[in-house]
Structure 1
Amino acid sequence: MTTPTRLRAADVPAWRSAHPDALVLDSRDAAAYAQGHWPGSLRLDGRNHEALLLREPKTRPVLITCYHGNASRTYAQMFRDFGFQHVVDLIGGWAAWTEQQATAATAPALPDHHGNTPLMTAAWRGDAEAVATLLAAGADVHAVNHDGNTALWLACVSARADVVRTLVTAGAALDHQNLAGATVLMYAASSNKPAIVKLLLELGANPGIQSQDDFTALDMAAGLECLQLLRHAA
């Protein structure tokens, strides 16, 4: 009998990215689950485990966590015994996950010439789950890289509206200006991202701010739709 694979906390994001259709189960109690859980996860308990074992396709990947990695190991073996082909559980459970995320949030800037923090990198990748987790663990939404850009700028690069909203809700400054005096609204306009321009305006971005070269977002608009949005907001 094959023992289910045990996954380290640091490997969870990559595993989930590689298995977007996975059944993600959390065997902690309802109160702990309500305080924090992976997006898309289902709470596993004595009332639903039989239905899951019998009804879910045996080819569907399964990831299970618990408090400290003990119950999840038992559940993982149970799923394997019922014929599930790809079952993993989290070593150390939710405690290991939260510790790993807290460490990532307070880690120094990534060793690249841009000075991006883990939150900036997650925003640039459009990884909404990682962004939410890092923010919950205390990541600094106001940190800037070597260009003076925040995570919100990188979220606009990825053009992920949900990540932009999450960062603004967490307190990211909409009108922050980087070393060139450019705002995220200027970037979105100059990159012809009308959906992001519209969202930023709805969230309260100021279209009248000028860069160091005295250009506004309207001056930088690279497409007709962006131009019309900014003209209407001016």
Structure 2
Amino acid sequence: MSQEIAFRRVDVAFARELLSKGETLVLDVRDEASYAKGHIDGARRAGRDNLHEFLTGAPKDMPVLVYCRKGNSSQDFAKTFADLGFTQALSLDGGYDAWVEAHRDPAHAAAPAALSDALRAFLVAENFSPEDVNGVGANALTPLMTAAYKGPPDIVAELLRAGARVDACNGDGGQPLWLACVGDDPAIVAMLIAAGADLDHRNVNGSTALMYAASAGKAKALKALLEAGADLACEVDGVSALDMASTLECLNLMRAEQKRRPKS
């Protein structure tokens, strides 16, 4: 029985070293507009529409480095390569955002802003270090996750300005956007989306924030997710967000959005 090949998650330093050594297939799995605005030198844009050509055209022993915006969806693509026998299938942690940040000229980097008394008090009250906006507490909760759930929006806004990560995951695989849906504050949901939150990130159970909002009857958060373009078609074990709707209001919001969106 052949040994299963697993993909690897690598950081920017590893990726940079790899690219300096020789031939590597670098795939950018973001949308075409994002790729056009900027990408890693030599990267080729890939998606579900053209992935087959890379899967069948590249040698199985060639390193394949896949990146997305934040390092989430690239893992699914890298796993596909590994499942088909590629021995060096790699996903870039932090994605293109991390690559850009690592190559930013330090001379032009803005100095970190001092935290307000209100934010420092919030961090202390929630048992986080008043010096670390990306600190981790019980169940891997971060200050941004806690503020996304509890509010107020002003604290969320300041955390984002101070560099709090929207792509951090708690012990259940949930990100700050998921916690904002628990709090059901559409202003906070919209704020996180504007900051780059992954609308369709899945937790350890494969559920998205939209699925949670539908199943928990969080209509205000659900509406904000739909307006931002959250995927209505995604499923877990054949069950969609529409199937999960726990209230008529949530169901009607999704049905209306489904009718409004163009047919693919």
TM-score class normalised by the smaller sequence:
0.5 to 0.7
User: What's the TM-score, normalizing by structure 1?
Assistant: 0.55
Question: What is the CA-CA distance between 1:127 and the residue it aligns to?
Answer: 2.1
Deviation readout 1:27-62 (Å, 9 max, x if unpaired): xxxxxxxxxxxxxxxxxxxxxxxxxxxxxxxxxxxx
Unmatched segments (≥5 aa) in structure 1: 1-8, 17-99
Corresponding position: 1:104 with 2:132: yes
Q: Which amino acid aligns with 1:105?
A: V
Unmatched segments (≥5 aa) in structure 2: 1-114, 123-128, 259-264
Corresponding position: 1:159 with 2:184: yes
Corresponding position: 1:210 with 2:238: no
Question: What is the CA-CA distance between 1:133 and the residue it aligns to?
Answer: 1.0
Question: What is the CA-CA distance between 1:126 and the residue it aligns to?
Answer: 2.0
Q: What is aligned with 1:229?
A: 253
Corresponding position: 1:169 with 2:197: no
Question: What is the CA-CA distance between 1:202 and the residue it aligns to?
Answer: 0.6
1:231–1:132: structure 2 CA closer, same or farther, 3 Å change rule? same
Q: Max radius of gyration: which structure? A: 1
Matched length: 138
Q: What is aligned with 2:175?
A: 150
Q: What is aligned with 2:107?
A: none
| 1:1-234 superposed matches below 5 A | 12-13=118-119, 103-107=131-135, 109-110=136-137, 112=138, 114-211=139-236, 213-234=237-258
Percent identity between matched residues is 46
Cα separation, 1, equivalents of 2:171 and 2:238: 22
Q: Secondary structure at the match of 1:195?
A: helix
Q: Secondary structure at the match of 1:172?
A: coil
Question: What is the CA-CA distance between 1:198 and the residue it aligns to?
Answer: 1.5
RMSD: 2.1
Cα separation, 2, equivalents of 1:104 and 1:11: 14
Question: What is the CA-CA distance between 1:197 and the residue it aligns to?
Answer: 1.5
Q: Is the 8 A contact 2:173 2:204 kept in 1?
A: yes
Q: Is the 8 A contact 1:124 1:157 kept in 2?
A: yes
User: What's the TM-score, normalizing by structure 2?
Assistant: 0.49
Q: Secondary structure at the match of 2:140?
A: coil
Q: Which amino acid aligns with 2:252?
A: Q
Q: Which amino acid aligns with 1:232?
A: A
